[in-house]
């Protein structure tokens, strides 16, 4: 099932949030932009999601219109379906330069060197991804949580796809927008404290995002943040968050 987040006719933004059935794996959201016969799929996931996602996408456009499969980082729930996308589409695969050389390990021998020729490295400083006559901005999000990590901003819809930043645990509920930030916090706090690298990265990312006109933040797991008020609450919290190496001491490094 897909949800339309933005539709101006020529430019559509959709998300798919219920492709992983039951408790087969953690709930994941895939993000999709279609602009005048040019498509990009963000964080398509693994083998669990490939087939339902392909079917959902085919209702919007043919596979041959998929220009890019874009990965925020290297994890199994992000890009482990790489071999399928290489086989069934002509899309280029975009990922951090830190992971470009590792991804071909997901590509079987019989696909020759497709992994190398179709995987494009995103430089550390980010880039503009050309999608037809529109652009999508790949924004640095390193150490949040992966060492080579990106968020993606669509200036036409003003939607920020933030990957694991802002991710929350759903417990089977629908991925409705967050309404009460304080009530939502317990679903995010523990995850961010353990998975995010350090406050320094959180604060620098939040500062960068404040320079953009953002209407919606869509994380890869859980509920989105819609509207300036809740987005600012989220950025204020994230910029102050102590996490990762901020919280460790010798007690975390004892011989087991
Ligand atoms: Fe991850």
Specify the DSSP element, H or E, that contains 163: strand 159-163
On the question of pLDDT at 111 being above 90, the answer is no
Cα separation, 51 vs 40, in Å, equals 17
**Near ion ligand 1, which residues have CB within 5 Å?**
75
Closest CA to 209 of 163, 166, 157, 151: 151
Residue 251 φ then ψ, to 5°: -65, -20
Q: Is 128 helix (H, G, I), strand (E, B) or coil?
A: strand
Q: Are 2 and 31 in contact (CB under 8 A)?
A: no
Q: Are 171 and 160 in contact (CB under 8 A)?
A: no
pLDDT by residue (tens digit) across 146-171?
999 999 999 999 999 999 999 998 87
Q: Would you place residue 20 in the very low, low, confident or very high pLDDT band (cuts 50, 70, 90)? A: low
On the question of pLDDT at 6 being above 80, the answer is yes
- Cross-strand partners of 14: 4, 32
Interval between CA 80 and ligand 1 midpoint (Å) = 12
Strand 92-96 vs strand 38-42: parallel, antiparallel, or unpaired?
Answer: unpaired
Mean pLDDT across the chain: 93
Cα separation, 240 vs 138, in Å, equals 24
Interval between CA 36 and ligand 1 midpoint (Å) = 31
On the question of pLDDT at 61 being above 90, the answer is yes
């Amino acid at each position: 099932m897909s949800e339309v987040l933005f539709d101006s006719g020529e430019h559509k933004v959709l998300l798919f949030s219920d492709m992983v059935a039951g408790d087969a794996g953690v709930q994941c959201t895939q993000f999709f932009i279609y602009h005048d016969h040019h498509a990009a799929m963000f964080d398509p996931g693994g083998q669990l999601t490939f087939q339902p996602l392909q079917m959902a996408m085919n209702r919007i456009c043919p596979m041959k219109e998929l220009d890019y499969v874009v990965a925020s980082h290297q994890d199994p729930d992000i890009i482990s379906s790489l071999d399928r996308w290489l086989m069934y589409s002509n899309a280029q695969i975009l990922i951090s330069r830190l992971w470009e050389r590792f991804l071909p390990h997901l590509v079987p021998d019989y696909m020759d060197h497709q992994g190398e020729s179709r995987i494009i490295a995103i430089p550390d400083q980010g880039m503009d991804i050309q999608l037809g006559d529109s652009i999508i901005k790949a924004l640095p999000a390193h150490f949040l949580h992966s060492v080579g990590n990106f968020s993606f901003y669509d200036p036409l819809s003003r939607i920020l796809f933030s990957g694991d930043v802002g991710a929350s645990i759903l417990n089977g509920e629908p991925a409705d927008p967050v309404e009460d930030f304080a009530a939502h916090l317990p679903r995010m706090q523990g995850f961010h404290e353990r998975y995010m690298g350090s406050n320094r990265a959180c604060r620098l990312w939040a500062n960068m995002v404040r320079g953009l006109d953002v209407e919606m933040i869509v994380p890869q797991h859980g509920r989105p943040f819609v509207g300036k008020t809740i987005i600012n609450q989220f950025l204020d919290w994230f910029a102050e968050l102590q996490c990762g190496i901020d919280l460790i001491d010798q007690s975390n490094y004892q011989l087991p």
